[in-house]
Chain A
Amino acid sequence: MNANTPKNHAMRCATLTALLLPAFALPALAAASRPFSAQKPADPTGTVEIIDVEGSIDIAGWDQPSVEVTGTIGAKVERVDVASSGNRTTVRVVLPRGSNGGGDDDYEAHLKIRVPQKSQLEVSLVSADLRLAGVAGTAHLQTVSGEINGDGGGGDLEVASVSGDIHLSARGSHSGRFKTVSGDLVISGVDGDVQLSTVSGDARLTLGTLSRAQLSSVSGDVNVTANGLAAAGQLAADSVSGDVGVHLGAVPDADIDVQAFSGEIHNCFGPKAVEEQYGPGSRLSFRSGKGGGHIQIDSKSGDVTLCAGK
């Protein structure tokens, strides 16, 4: 058997290449991103501000009076500033002047940030994704196209996104303000005061008892399932072409007024909607229970569904 056949030669070359490739490739890959680690003392109830453009940010609450940042940063990330002043700690991913990112992995920072549990959060991201867990303070979160996921932790929430989706559980939170343009929203657990604004993003909210809810959509569908409406609670919703669905766990004591210009009105309790007497559209107007609360839903061409007690 001849060991120097072309076939054997090819096999040997392939084996050598396979052995040598990691030796050269690994340092090159390592140069593409580098580890980062920093820790600063922080006020247990202070504010933590986080600013990043690309990559991912994972925020978790812990019982230490400090902010810890660990992770990796891309080759073109200039630095990460972690600074504390008074009751404010800032984590800022800094990119070089004139850089535009534009999806280049080298501009990404993937950071895990641990903050005191009762911190107030102010997070501003562009295309970076955000994951949140175990932080009980007020949270102001905003992103352009990054996704926001996790647990709001019970503090008041103010969340704004342009095209990123938002999936948040916020049990124990008594105030939530959610604003999106085309990102979809799935929110659960908030009770009390809820505000929602969407252009084309669909919203599905599973809420507690509402004292005040204000929901607005242009073409996105909005579906709200809530335990009920508080005494003298207010729920107002409007939509141009998106469908609006409101499902309450208990029949509310409220004056109800639903209007649709060309959309249909469906209700599972109370009288049926009637055609408007002096113009197009239909209207459903009645007192449910003892009244005192107020539910008003307006739609142009979107369908409205109102159900309670089932």
Chain B
Amino acid sequence: MTTPRFTTIEDALASLPRAVQPARDLWPAISRELAAPPADVALAGGAAARDTAPRFALKSWPLALAASLAVASLAGALCWSVWRERPAAALVARTAPAPAPVTARTLVNFEPLHNAEYVSARSDLEQVFNERLKLLAPATRARIQADLETIRKANADIRAALGKDPASPLLLKLLQNTGQQEIDLYTSVAQTTEPMLARRT
């Protein structure tokens, strides 16, 4: 009930606070450490430092190697995708159950979904919407079409803005919302015109 509704990772990320207040004031301790001369540091924790530093280095080298390999692999994959003019998302998409065709030449793909199931469902919904639209009075029809244009223009504006700021979680979220508004419009018209079909004997 009180949990925020997050539908995407961008949504969740956007909601995170930009700054986290520490539970206590850390500055006095930091200030003390900064003020202390290096010799004092060595004297204060010298033995422990000498004991732990080499041990850590010895024990953690497989981790460091694995991390290096991971970073190198990721960098290689990104380089390869850019070199082949394919978005990184496509590399991920290849392992997904329903891969999406790649149309954009950028690292982040803002194009509408091309998943076959989605395209088919959307096409069916649009067909019902267009059929129901014909049943309505011309003035109402014109108003709905104007609203559809409003949504599509808003969507295009957001895409244009994303071109300038591709990492904006705000724009990604609004893009998702306008997409949903368009689907909602089709659904609303389909649902509210049901009585026009039911009335016929």
Contact = CB atoms under 8 A, between A and B. Distances in A.
A285 B181 contact: no
A219 B15 contact: no
Nearest to A183: B143
What class of interface size applies to chain B in its complex with A? 35 or more
A72 interface: no
A139 interface: no
Contacts of A214: 5
Contact of A279 (B135, B154, B165, B189): B165
Interface string A76-115: 0010000000000000111111111111000000000000
User: Chain B interface secondary structure, helix, strand, loop or mixed?
Assistant: helix
Interface in B153-167: 154, 157-158, 161, 164-165, 167
B135 A182 contact: no
Interface in A132-178: 142-145, 160-163
Most buried by B among A92, A163, A211, A296: A163
B193 interface: yes
Contacts of B17: 255, 257, 285
Nearest to A193: B1
A240 interface: yes
A126 interface: yes
A102 B137 contact: yes
Nearest to A92: B198
Contacts, number: 156
Interface in A180-221: 181-182, 197, 199-200, 211-212, 214, 216, 218-219
B154 A240 contact: yes
A52 B192 CA distance: 11
B193 A126 contact: yes
Contact of A144 (B5, B146, B189, B199): B189
Q: Report the contact-size class of chain A (Cβ under 8 Å from the partner).
A: 35 or more
Contacts of A124: 192, 194-195
Contact of A143 (B19, B146, B192, B198): B192
B181 A238 contact: no
B144 A163 contact: yes
A300 B158 contact: yes
B71 to A, nearest CB: 23
Given A197-B184, A199-B185, A126 B196 contact: yes
11 contacts: A102-B137, A126-B193, A127-B140, A162-B143, A162-B144, A181-B144, A182-B147, A211-B2, A214-B5, A259-B170, A281-B170
Interface of A: 51-53, 78, 92-103, 124-127, 142-145, 160-163, 179, 181-182, 197, 199-200, 211-212, 214, 216, 218-219, 232-234, 236, 238, 240-241, 255, 257, 259, 261-262, 279-281, 283, 285, 294, 296, 298, 300-301
